[in-house]
Chains A and B, each alone.
Chain A
Amino acid sequence: MKHRPAPPDLKAAALFVAVIAALFALQFVLPEYHRLSVTRIMVLAVFATGYNILFGYTGLLSLGHAMFFGAGLYTAGLCAYHLGWGVPAAFAGGVVAGALLALLVGCVALRTTGVSFMIVTLMFAQVAYLATLYFTAYTRGDEGLVLPQAARSFEWFGASVDLTDPATRYNLSLLLLVIALAAVWGVARSRTGRAMVAIRENEPRARMLGYNTFAVKLQALIISGALSAAAGAAYALLFAYIGSSFAAIQYSIDALLYTLLGGPGSVLGPVLGAFLMFYLVDVASQYTSAYLLVTGVALILLVLYFPRGILGTVKHRWLPWLP
């Protein structure tokens, strides 16, 4: 918890600006198919960034983050579909729903640690997934819902925003990613962020130093849940479709995998992980229907040989200033 001198922060800030500028520039050179892929990846990267707060910084391994993604997705989607909410209201509703669910889940699940926490979050997420199937009258379960035309555009301070326009969608998801990264960077540098890392490294010691570790963990879970839900709400509103598969365990595993691959506990790690893994699975699925084999092999290899992930290793070996 030593105080970092200014220059590394400057370098980190420069890196952020470079990454964001590169992502912004990318839309002008990418062909249509890949521009859509990158739009999706950036939303998934927001999800993984939310996951990273809990796993990378606080050291809590959740196997149920699909429920927060799903809470955002379904709250935004159902409010837009059934209640005719506008896009900004539906998005905000999704984020609030995710934060509330995280509060509720946290109060119960955070009584456990380690393996029990993993299983309990897995089971809560399974209940949430089954709920999307059970209330099929509203959600249409696996088949899902396509959002109406009214939810495809909105007015924002006099300007009309059209969500069917690919360029608009790309830049909105980039904006969301920038906000998420800024939030994580801010949290990581704050007192709470350092308390999170202290808990990750040694919870009894953090408690002995006087931290209310339960409160810090709950804060981490709420921030993490809200960011994951923001990703889910954005996914629903940008791509105008909600379905049960987005709340399935696969999505929890994906968030874990993106974070593990890119580097848990590094701000940009989950973004890099989401990019690499998305394209790896995309390429694999062109050759075989068993493309989830890639997911399985990647999980095993990462745990065995590469637990710090890509950016975690780079930071450890070469660039200690990396955020």
Chain B
Amino acid sequence: MNFAPFLFLASLEGLVQAAVLCLTAVGLSLVFGVMRVVNVAHGEFFMLGAVLAWWLASLTPGHAAFGFALALVIAPALVGAVALAADRLILKRLDYRPEATIVATIGLLYVIQQTALLTFGPDARPVEAPFYFRVQFPWFGYSGHKLLVVAAAAAVLLAAWYVIAKTRIGLVMRATRFDRDTARAFGINVHRVYAAVFAVGAMFAAVGAVLVVPVRQAHYLMGLDPLLLSFIVVIIGGLGSIRGTVVAAILIGFSDGLISVFFSPTLAKMASTLLVALVLVFKPQGLFAVQSR
């Protein structure tokens, strides 16, 4: 038996996993970096994106690509609106105190998840892929949609990098992150920055979910796995460091598939969770953190 095609297939799957994880984890990392808020409900924004994508796709007549394109625009916008409301109604009133916001976002996790259970129901539902083009490799054909997921994720991340690093909006964000009091002294409306960052962070997760929902199905409990994986990525990558987050997401997205080939998935999860807890205790700046801010 030839091992190379297997490895190639596993790498492709790892790439898809890494791309979605990148989007989700960067959202979490952005929120933590700028606002110092650990958003436990982040995975539920992912779930909400997938469920809304199913809903929008089921409303749209005609070719599946229309529904998908519509979902890709509208679902993240709706999720962003929910996040904005959560920021205004809950986080801002708590003055963004770290411990209180964790408890509140745990509450938010239950509220979003159980509301989805009430409205969307307990069943997993598929969303049709926008097209069925298959890319032919020498050994097997591979879903063109999955390659689109990778490309789209890369494009979104590049755009995010451009906005953060090169534009005035990004400058305001970085200033707020660096020192919120000084930022305020320079006339930056810190609360508006926080609201925008929280919404954008949630939208990252939603975009990842819409992209991947034709591959996985929409389900009201689907937010838990991305949440745990994003936590792992953000901690390994260094809390709040976007660059470290991307590196860690690619590494973990890749290795997750490979590890579960060799070990029992439960044991792999146990080992990685324990490892991450120890990283947080003994090396809280992360394994790949860049020293300068």
Contacts and interface: CB of A to CB of B under 8 A. Distances in A.
Interface of A: 61, 63, 108-109, 111-112, 114-116, 118-120, 123-124, 126-127, 130-131, 133-134, 253, 256, 260, 288-293, 295-300, 302-304, 307
B104 A134 contact: no
B106 interface: yes
A114 B98 contact: yes
Given A130-B273, A131-B270, A134-B270, A304 B90 contact: yes
Interface of B: 38, 90, 93-94, 98-100, 102-104, 106-111, 113-115, 117-118, 122, 228, 231, 235, 264, 266-267, 269-270, 273-274, 276-278, 280-282, 284
Contacts of A115: 38, 98-99, 102
Given A118-B102, A119-B280, A288 B90 contact: no
Given A114-B98, A303-B94, A127 B111 contact: no
A119 B228 CA distance: 11
Contact residues of A: prevailing secondary structure: helix
29 contacts: A63-B102, A111-B282, A112-B280, A115-B38, A116-B280, A118-B38, A118-B102, A119-B235, A120-B280, A126-B273, A130-B266, A134-B266, A134-B270, A253-B106, A260-B103, A289-B117, A290-B117, A291-B114, A293-B118, A296-B108, A296-B111, A299-B106, A299-B107, A300-B90, A300-B107, A300-B111, A302-B103, A303-B100, A307-B100
Contact of B115 (A119, A120, A289, A290): A290
Nearest to A108: B281
A296 B269 contact: no
B114 A292 contact: yes
A123 B118 contact: no
> Interface centre among B111, B113, B277, by most A CB within 10 Å?
B277
Contacts of A307: 100
A109 B107 contact: no
Given A120-B280, A290-B115, A304 B266 contact: no
Contact residues of B: prevailing secondary structure: helix
A112 B280 CA distance: 8
Nearest to A123: B277
A292 B281 contact: no
Given A114-B98, A304-B90, A293 B277 contact: no
Given A119-B231, A134-B264, A134-B270, A112 B281 contact: yes
Contacts of B282: 111
Contacts, number: 113
A291 B114 CA distance: 8
A214 B52 CA distance: 48
Contacts of A133: 266
Nearest to B103: A303
Nearest to A295: B110
Given A111-B281, A118-B102, A303-B107, 7 more contacts: A108-B281, A111-B282, A134-B266, A290-B115, A300-B104, A300-B107, A303-B94
Nearest to A131: B270
A296 B100 CA distance: 14
> Interface centre among B90, B100, B281, by most A CB within 10 Å?
B281
Contacts of A289: 117, 122
A161 to B, nearest CB: 38
A133 B264 CA distance: 11
A253 B109 CA distance: 12
Nearest to B266: A134
A221 to B, nearest CB: 15
Contact of A293 (B115, B266, B284): B115
Nearest to A109: B281
B273 A127 contact: yes
A291 B117 CA distance: 10
A14 to B, nearest CB: 34
A299 B103 CA distance: 7
B269 A297 contact: no
A123 B273 contact: yes
A116 B107 contact: no
A180 B223 CA distance: 37
A298 B110 CA distance: 10
B276 A297 contact: no
A260 B267 CA distance: 34
Contacts of B273: 123, 126-127, 130
A115 B40 CA distance: 12
Given A299-B107, A303-B104, A290 B266 contact: no
A116 B240 CA distance: 13
Contacts of A127: 270, 273-274, 277
A-B pairs with lowest CB-CB distance, top 5: A296-B110, A299-B107, A300-B107, A293-B114, A296-B111
A120 B281 CA distance: 7
